Amino acid sequence: MANKPQKVHIDEIELNAFGKGEKFSARTARIGELLGMQKGGCSLVELEPGKCAWPYHLHFAQEELFVILEGEGTLRYDDERYPVRAGDVIFTPPGQGTAHQIVNTSGARLRYLALSSASDTEVCYYPDSGKYGAYSRKPRFAFIAKEGTGTDYWDGEASD
């Protein structure tokens, strides 16, 4: 017998607090993992007024698609800001000039789906803080460092 489709109702998903401090504060659920997705990702994100889920960042490998389900906010993209509202679908490709962040700039809750190509390895750049992050999904791995704090490729290698 063929595998059955996996299904969950969006209003019945348990959300978890995510973030740090006053600015980065969200409730999220990894729907893709919940349903067993292997080659993509999907998260439900809820933001209260004035909040954002993640720092302003760009991906070098991963594509992202955002579907605004409820509310209004602002998409910060490269050096511009764009209003977003329920019904909008936003695509952010990988690469330079594509840094992005969704901020709830309204007075009500903002709710959206974040879908991604979820590459097994990823490098991100965070322009506001000058950080790079290297990530792996399997096994889970993350390394984050500030620009200019790296080491030489041959550092610590026996050269004899």
Q: How many CA atoms lie within 13 A of 21 on its CB side?
A: 6
What are the residue boundaries of the structural domains of the chain, listed by start?
16-119
Kindly give the residue spans of alpha helices, DSSP state H, lying in the chain. Answer: 31-35
Maximum distance among all alpha carbons in the chain?
64
Distance of CA 21 to the CA centre of its chain: 18
Residue 1's pLDDT is: 46
Residue 2's pLDDT is: 60
Assigned CATH class of 16-119 = mainly beta
User: Within a 10 A sphere around the Cβ of 55, how many other Cβ atoms?
Assistant: 17
Residue 102's pLDDT is: 99
Per-residue pLDDT of the chain (160 residues; tens, 9 = 90+): 468 899 999 999 999 999 999 999 999 999 999 999 888 999 999 999 999 999 999 999 999 999 999 999 999 999 999 999 999 999 999 999 999 999 999 999 999 999 999 788 999 999 999 999 999 987 889 999 998 888 887 888 877 7
Whole-structure pTM value: 0.90
Tokens encoding 25: 């504060």
